[in-house]
């Protein structure tokens, strides 16, 4: 397809690119090899910019990428109806592959020096630190956030009700996923996923002086392959399986963390099993300590240790169970619109508008924003190069992090923020993390990180407000981009041959009826799911799965069960496939 372009727009872009190369050359002490590698790395960004700016045809400038994105690898959509058993088989197979990849560590990595920049969000990001799945679903979710914000803010002028524009939007998002993989992978390799010294020495034996550079490139390549496999597996599940691959991976990771945090009998530390080193799982830990403590020990602090002391205290297990039943109840609340089929006489049904209408996607996106804030604030605080950038570099107000010695003294990880915006928006993980320090600051001073108790209160309020506000924003964007708004649902009901009894069979009439419910419930569902996620984090969970992770997992499992029910229904009643959007 020939695309209209203004070729002259390449001249200023080329000039800026050459100037950038010269600045690289000077910053790298006139090293030609490193300059060439860095220039080749950033060249695709300039080329993509040229494709956008030079486009002069009709419609969105994203059409400047059309020829490129159409050539990206993709999973072919089935040209037939895929039966339930086959979908279930594909879903199960992808889940097994996910667990296998999560246990394959990056070759040439110094495991002892790994710093997990996504430690607080690891269960949500569906990855394993140091494995080829280290980035998890992070690039996919980040790309989705950027595209939704650009479309919602009209920075990208695209009409998602048109099939061509929607296909272009999805293809452009694939390209953005590839860019986000490198954006998240490259900074981590410089200090957080370091190459093993022996691996560097082996490369230096073949290519003297370039062992570190080649080792880093090799690690980045493995991260890219792992993340792109996640993306392709998500497409396989979406097109050939049941539900969403991203949701499936989140549920798998969180479930693993919950089971481990509840039943793991391995001691917390590296030494033998003892009162000071009890089992790490909540249930084995409780029974072991109860068997070792006498009545005096329990009264003098043993009972408090069993119920409240991390890791995996009994209150965290109770909180996990409470969150589970609360989410199950909330997911069952819905408004049902009666429907009748115009051709099949007597065939009636209901269109459910659930209280959680926007599903759990808004929370995933909100958590991804916080994870990226945590990652970049850590990079700007600790990375030798980024720390020199004016305003952002090593700025306490963006986010402050402890040194290795301070982290050991406070018994926290180096990735835990202790000040700045990153601290105010960090997710609390249980009552011992925020409530007890506010009630008894003298005893729990280490949890306050030298902040007064009232600042801890602001921290909690700021986190809850962000989760609620961001979830509402992303709920609105998600409903629009997935055609779940009033107009999209009206067209869906119309095309399936269904109608609301007592109303004329006209999409405009259906839209007016749906306008009474969908816009309001979209905002409410976004706020409700954000408040639930924040509340779950405040209560705390076992396995360091985070309350948000438990909330997402329960919702995902319920939706998977409902999706399986829909698949079985379309097996028995083929005319319902049009209504559910299937083949």
> Which segment of 159-168, 314-323, 390-399 scores lowest on mean pLDDT?
159-168
Q: What is the DSSP letter of 496?
A: T
Condensed to tens digits (0 to 9), the pLDDT of residues 260-308 reads: 999 999 887 778 888 888 999 999 999 999 999 888 888 888 888 888 8
Average pLDDT over residues 117-133: 83
pTM, rounded to two decimals = 0.83
∠ CA 44-371-195, rounded to 5°: 60
Same-domain check for residues 43 and 96: no
pLDDT grade for 554, boundaries at 50, 70 and 90: confident
Note the helical H segments in 66-210.
Answer: 66-69, 84-102, 138-152, 163-189, 197-206
In a domain, 289, yes or no: no
* Overall domain count for the chain: 2
Same-domain check for residues 235 and 97: yes
Contacts of residue 100, defined as CB under 8 A and 6 or more positions apart, other chains included, come to none
Same-domain check for residues 108 and 46: no
Same-domain check for residues 184 and 231: yes
Same-domain check for residues 206 and 147: yes
**Residue 342: its pLDDT value, please?**
63
**Residue 1: its pLDDT value, please?**
58
Q: What is the DSSP letter of 352?
A: E
Same-domain check for residues 117 and 161: yes
Contacts of residue 357, defined as CB under 8 A and 6 or more positions apart, other chains included, come to 475, 479, 484, 518, 521, 522, 525
Condensed to tens digits (0 to 9), the pLDDT of residues 229-261 reads: 999 999 999 899 988 888 889 888 888 889 999
* CA diameter of the chain: 84
Same-domain check for residues 149 and 46: no
Q: How far apart are CA 428 and CA 316, in angstroms?
A: 13
Condensed to tens digits (0 to 9), the pLDDT of residues 52-102 reads: 899 988 888 888 998 898 888 888 888 887 888 899 999 999 999 998 998
Which of 539, 308, 543 has the alpha carbon at shortest distance from 443?
308
Query: In the listed set 57, 74, 94, which residue is the last one of a domain according to the structure?
Result: 57
Condensed to tens digits (0 to 9), the pLDDT of residues 412-435 reads: 888 899 999 999 999 887 888 898
Condensed to tens digits (0 to 9), the pLDDT of residues 135-185 reads: 988 899 889 888 887 887 777 888 777 788 888 888 899 999 999 999 889
**Over 80: is that where the pLDDT of 578 sits?**
no
In a domain, 153, yes or no: yes
Average pLDDT over residues 440-462: 89
**Residue 572: its pLDDT value, please?**
67
**Residue 341: its pLDDT value, please?**
64
State both tokens at 579: 């209504």
**Over 50: is that where the pLDDT of 323 sits?**
yes
In a domain, 395, yes or no: no
In a domain, 191, yes or no: yes
**Residue 564: its pLDDT value, please?**
85
Same-domain check for residues 45 and 103: no
Q: Is the peptide bond before 536 cis (omega within 30 degrees of 0)?
A: no
In a domain, 33, yes or no: yes
Same-domain check for residues 147 and 1: no
* pLDDT: which is higher, 152 or 18: 18
pLDDT grade for 583, boundaries at 50, 70 and 90: very low
State both tokens at 192: 């957080």
Same-domain check for residues 114 and 192: yes
Contact 441, 448 (CB under 8 A): yes
Contact 47, 77 (CB under 8 A): no
CATH code for position 161 = 1.10.3370.10
Range of the domain at 31: 1-57
Average pLDDT over residues 343-356: 68
* pLDDT: which is higher, 335 or 340: 335
**Residue 16: its pLDDT value, please?**
93
**Over 70: is that where the pLDDT of 481 sits?**
yes
Query: In the listed set 179, 208, 241, which residue is the last one of a domain according to the structure?
Result: 241
**Residue 243: its pLDDT value, please?**
84
In a domain, 305, yes or no: no
Contact 422, 459 (CB under 8 A): no
Same-domain check for residues 90 and 203: yes
In a domain, 422, yes or no: no
Query: In the listed set 20, 42, 57, which residue is the last one of a domain according to the structure?
Result: 57
Same-domain check for residues 13 and 101: no
Q: Which residue bears the tokens 């209280």?
A: 355
**Residue 466: its pLDDT value, please?**
96
**Residue 350: its pLDDT value, please?**
74
pLDDT grade for 581, boundaries at 50, 70 and 90: low
Q: What is the DSSP letter of 298?
A: I
């Amino acid at each position: 397809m020939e695309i209209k372009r203004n070729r002259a727009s390449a001249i200023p872009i080329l000039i800026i690119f050459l100037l950038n190369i010269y600045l690289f050359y000077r910053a790298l002490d006139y090293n030609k090899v490193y300059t060439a590698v860095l220039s080749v790395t950033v060249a695709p960004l300039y080329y993509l910019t040229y494709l956008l700016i030079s486009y002069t045809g009709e419609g969105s400038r994203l059409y400047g990428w059309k020829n490129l994105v159409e050539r990206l690898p993709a999973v072919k959509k089935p040209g037939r109806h895929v039966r339930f058993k086959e979908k279930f088989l594909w879903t199960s197979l992808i889940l097994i592959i996910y667990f296998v990849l999560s246990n394959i560590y990056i070759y040439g990595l110094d495991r002892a020096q790994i710093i997990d920049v996504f430690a607080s969000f690891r269960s949500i990001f569906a990855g394993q630190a140091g494995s080829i799945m280290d980035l998890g679903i992070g690039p996919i979710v980040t790309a989705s956030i950027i595209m939704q914000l650009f479309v919602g803010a009209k920075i990208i002028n695209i009409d998602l009700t048109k099939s061509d524009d929607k296909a272009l939007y999805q293809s452009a998002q694939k390209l953005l996923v590839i860019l986000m993989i490198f954006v998240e992978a490259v900074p981590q390799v410089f200090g957080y996923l370091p190459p093993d010294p022996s691996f560097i020495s082996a490369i230096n034996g073949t290519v003297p002086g370039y062992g570190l550079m080649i080792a880093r490139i090799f690690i980045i390549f493995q991260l890219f392959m792992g993340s792109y496999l996640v993306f392709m597996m998500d497409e396989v599940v979406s097109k050939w399986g049941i539900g969403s691959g991203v949701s499936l991976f989140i549920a798998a990771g969180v479930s693993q963390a919950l089971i481990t945090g509840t039943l793991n009998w391995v001691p917390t530390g590296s030494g033998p099993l003892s009162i000071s080193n009890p089992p790490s799982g909540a249930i084995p830990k409780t029974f072991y300590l109860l068997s070792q403590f006498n009545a005096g020990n329990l009264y003098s602090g043993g009972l408090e240790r069993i119920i409240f002391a991390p890791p995996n205290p009994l209150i965290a297990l109770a909180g996990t169970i409470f969150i589970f039943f609360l989410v199950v109840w909330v997911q069952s609340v819905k408004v049902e619109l009666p429907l009748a089929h115009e051709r099949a006489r007597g065939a009636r049904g209901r269109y459910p508008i659930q209280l959680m209408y926007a599903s759990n996607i808004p929370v995933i996106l909100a958590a991804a924003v916080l994870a990226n804030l945590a990652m970049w604030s850590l990079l700007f605080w600790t990375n030798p190069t980024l720390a020199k950038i004016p305003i952002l570099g090593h700025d306490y107000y963006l986010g402050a992090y402890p040194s290795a010695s301070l982290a050991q003294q406070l018994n926290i990880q180096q990735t835990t923020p202790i000040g700045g915006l990153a601290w105010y928006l960090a997710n609390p993980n249980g009552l011992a993390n925020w409530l007890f320090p506010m009630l008894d600051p003298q005893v729990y001073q280490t949890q306050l990180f030298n902040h007064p108790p009232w600042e801890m209160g602001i921290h909690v309020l700021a986190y809850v407000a962000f989760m609620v506000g961001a979830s509402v924003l992303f709920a609105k964007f998600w409903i629009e981009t997935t055609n779940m708004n009033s107009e999209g649902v009206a067209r869906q009901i119309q095309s399936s041959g269904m109608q609301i009894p007592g109303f004329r069979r006209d999409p405009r009439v259906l839209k007016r009826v749906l306008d009474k419910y969908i816009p309001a419930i979209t905002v409410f569902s976004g706020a409700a799911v954000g408040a639930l996620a924040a509340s779950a984090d405040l209560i705390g969970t076992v396995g360091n799965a985070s309350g948000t992770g438990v909330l997402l997992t329960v919702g995902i499992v319920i939706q998977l069960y409902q999706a399986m029910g829909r698949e079985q229904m379309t097996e028995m009643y083929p005319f319902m496939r049009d209504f559910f959007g299937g083949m």
